[in-house]
């Protein structure tokens, strides 16, 4: 089972192969959303850009970026920093280390 580790934390979570990253985080009580965004977001449609995480290790173990992440009009695209992914658009196939901007 793939393991997701968190930068600056001893906590890690195990998820099923191919699990959706956003849903897995929420299930384990680690929201990728910050503040008010926890209430106001697109619920995983890839349209609001608020669920981004920074992938520090294991990017090769994640699904490739989706069209929603690459749209020029995407609010996420404006953030545009290498290693950042929309957690709602990302599936986990192996171990990774991430940084949550929400914590
Ligand atoms: S929840 Fe809105 S882009 Fe992921």
- What is the CA(4)–ligand 1 centre distance, in A? 19
List the CATH number of the domain containing 23.
3.10.20.30
Number of structural domains the chain divides into: 1
Query: Which residues form the domain of 35?
Result: 3-100
Q: Is 68 in the pocket of ligand 1 (CB under 6 A)?
A: no
Q: Both tokens of residue 27?
A: 């299930």
- Residue 93's pLDDT band, with cuts at 50, 70 and 90, is very high
Predicted local confidence at residue 96, as pLDDT: 98
Averaged pLDDT, 4-23: 96
- Report pTM: 0.91
Higher-pLDDT residue of 30 and 103 is: 30
d(CA 22, CA 50): 11
Q: Could you report the per-residue pLDDT of 54-77, keeping only the tens digit for each?
A: 999 999 999 998 988 887 666 666
User: Which among 21, 88, 101 is the best mutation to test ligand 1's pocket, defined by most ligand atoms within 8 Å of the CB?
Assistant: 88
* Neighbouring C-beta atoms of residue 62, cutoff 10 Å: 20
CA-atom Rg of the chain in angstroms: 12
- Residue 95's pLDDT band, with cuts at 50, 70 and 90, is very high
Terminal Cα distance for the chain, rounded: 25
């Amino acid at each position: 089972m793939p393991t997701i580790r968190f930068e600056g934390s001893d906590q890690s979570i195990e998820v099923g192969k191919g699990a959706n990253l956003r849903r897995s985080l929420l299930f384990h009580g680690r929201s990728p959303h910050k503040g008010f965004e926890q209430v106001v977001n697109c619920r995983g449609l890839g349209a609001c850009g608020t669920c981004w995480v920074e992938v520090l290790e294991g990017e090769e173990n994640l699904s490739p970026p989706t069209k929603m992440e690459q749209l020029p009009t995407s609010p996420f695209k404006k953030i545009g920093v290498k290693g950042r992914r929309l957690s709602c658009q990302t599936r986990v196939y192996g171990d990774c280390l991430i940084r949550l901007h929400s914590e």
